[in-house]
Amino acid sequence: MKFKTAFINGKIYTADDSQKWTEAIVISGNKIIFTGSNSEAHQFIDNQTEVINLNSKLVLPGFIDSHAHIVMGGFYLQSIDLSGVSTPSGFREKMAEYISRHPGRWVTEGNWNHENWKNGELPRKEWIDDFSRDTPVFVVRMDYHMGLANSRALELAGISRHTPDPAGGKIVRDPITGEPTGILKDKAMELVYNVIPYPTDAEYKSAILNAMNEARRFGVTSIHDITYKNHLKHLQKAEREGYLTCRVYSRLPIELNKNLTDAEIQYNFGSDKLKIGSVKAFADGSLGSSTAYFFEPYSDDNTTCGLAMDILQDGSLKDWMLYCDANRLQLSIHAIGDRAVSEILDIVEIIEKQNPAWDRRFRLEHAQHIKKADIERCSKLGVFVSAQPYHLYYDGDYMEKKIGRDRLKEAYTFKSFIRSGVKLCFGSDWSVVSLNPLTGIYAAVTRQTSNGKYKDGINGDEKLTVEEAVKCYTINAAFASYSENLVGSIKKGKFADFVVLDKNIFEIEPKNIKDVVVKTTVFDGEIVYEM
């Protein structure tokens, strides 16, 4: 029986400011009992200790993804993948091939990106109707804020030229005929989601297993999940049956607030591996779907400033936020456009004045575009910002086209957040982009885009150091989920969650960070992945 494991001869970055670098870690069970020098570690080593030589490899705390979709990501891995499609004809061909192998079954996920195509044309149902007459299709753009439905899916959802746009959503229509093109944005997507059958229990389990495999190979040992209907019960099942191999901080839809308070649930409730007590809401959409909510119109479409969600427009979101905060449920609010961010901060100011003080750790999810004055407001209000640096890599290709050069300096303002004292944490928004934190660190440090258009990266003075980026994926993320005493740094008494990399990202050229891979993932004291 193994009692202890000693990892020696490493270059260990702990993310603990009292002892940033060390050589050895000793764990007993699932906890760290020692960090320090190789010579000191020997006092913990006996004939029942497994000794692992790190051979001078870099060790980091286990990565914490502050914003991901576990179950959705798992389903994405086993569905059609359109992310690499670069032409409309390629889109059509890949869809036809997939449907020929899965006739009659709903086709979902997809993750297409029309900005990859030369003319940026949105897909239409006519592209796929001829080979999908009996197969309902609803494939989403990579940001999950718009999707393409074929005629069969529109029919099942009862969507026609006479169907009004729902509040907070848009049914895109042909300008000549008025018929739906198949593109649905934000709340309009729910019209189709409501008729898609729920997966079976076996399909949920398969999706979660896929997600856990993905997390292990990328060194992700904790995820702040966006948890939708049926997801939590299957995550609980995964914990009970022992295949939940990362810690999950579950954020439930804000609409369920009364259910949570009736059950007397408050923030940070649950086990070491699965917690609830935070709720999530949307204030707006996304930049790529032209539904992020701005003060000024889009540069490529001056008829719109984006799309505020219905609950922001009618005051429901404000009421729910006040209620949740008063009942000590942590708030995580999606806001991407500068106006959405500003209006949410207005509500936070009201909360601060009206509700009793507590350790609320209010979270802005994304805060992708923000006015300088609102960065200062975030600092003053103690707002946490949960950002996704690898979005910059893709959004940067078309951001200037959509919002103009002047507004670029207000995009992905990571360094400004840190300089202003805002607690910044990072995530992926997987399956929007890869779950791999190393690609996010690369983007935060270089600010490069996929097309390499900007020599010094977009808004180069917002670059982070490697250490700052690593902290955003570790100890800062732990604070954002009330877990700073359990995970986020390599420290005596914390859970033994850490990763070994094949190259030292503190020493190599920043441009090469995206190519670094995880050699070993240790979760809860066990090696759960080895390359």
93 conformational bin, left if phi > 0, alpha if psi -120 to 50, beta if neither: alpha
CA atoms 303, 308, 310, 314: torsion sign: negative
| Poorest-pLDDT segment among 115-129, 219-233, 253-267 | 115-129
What pairing do the DSSP bridges indicate for beta strands 169-173 and 49-53? unpaired
What confidence tens digit (pLDDT) does each residue in 480-511 have? 999 999 999 999 999 999 999 999 999 999 99
Model pLDDT, residue 3: 78
Q: Distance (Å, rounded) from C-alpha 345 to C-alpha 388?
A: 19
**Residue 122 DSSP code:** P
Q: For residue 451, is pLDDT > 90?
A: no
% the chain with pLDDT above 70: 100
How many separate helices (H) and strands (E) can be counted in the chain?
18, 25
* Cβ pair 392, 442 in contact under 8 A: no
What is the secondary structure of 205-260 as a DSSP string?
HHHHHHHHHHHHHTTEEEEEEE--TTHHHHHHHHHHHT---SEEEEEEEGGGHHHH
Q: Distance (Å, rounded) from C-alpha 363 to C-alpha 331?
A: 6
Secondary structure of 334-374 in the HEC alphabet?
EECCHHHHHHHHHHHHHHHHHCCCCCCCCEEEECCECCHHH
Q: For residue 1, is pLDDT > 90?
A: no
Q: For residue 517, is pLDDT > 80?
A: yes
What would the mean pLDDT of 114-136 be, rounded to a whole number? 91
What confidence tens digit (pLDDT) does each residue in 191-235 have? 999 999 999 999 999 999 999 999 999 999 999 999 999 999 999
Q: Distance (Å, rounded) from C-alpha 215 to C-alpha 218?
A: 5
> What is the rounded average pLDDT for all residues in the chain?
96
- Structural domains in the chain? 79-193 (3.10.310.70)
* Cβ pair 418, 57 in contact under 8 A: no
**Is 206 buried (19+), middle (13-18) or exposed (0-12) by CB count in 10 A?**
middle
Model pLDDT, residue 385: 98
* Cβ pair 185, 169 in contact under 8 A: yes
Instruction: Report residue 104's pLDDT band, with 50, 70 and 90 as the boundaries.
Output: confident
**Residue 108 DSSP code:** -
Q: Distance (Å, rounded) from C-alpha 282 to C-alpha 336?
A: 9
Number of residues that make up the chain: 531
Instruction: Report residue 2's pLDDT band, with 50, 70 and 90 as the boundaries.
Output: low
Q: Distance (Å, rounded) from C-alpha 415 to C-alpha 242?
A: 40
What would the mean pLDDT of 179-186 be, rounded to a whole number? 96
What confidence tens digit (pLDDT) does each residue in 332-369 have? 999 999 999 999 999 999 999 999 999 999 999 999 99
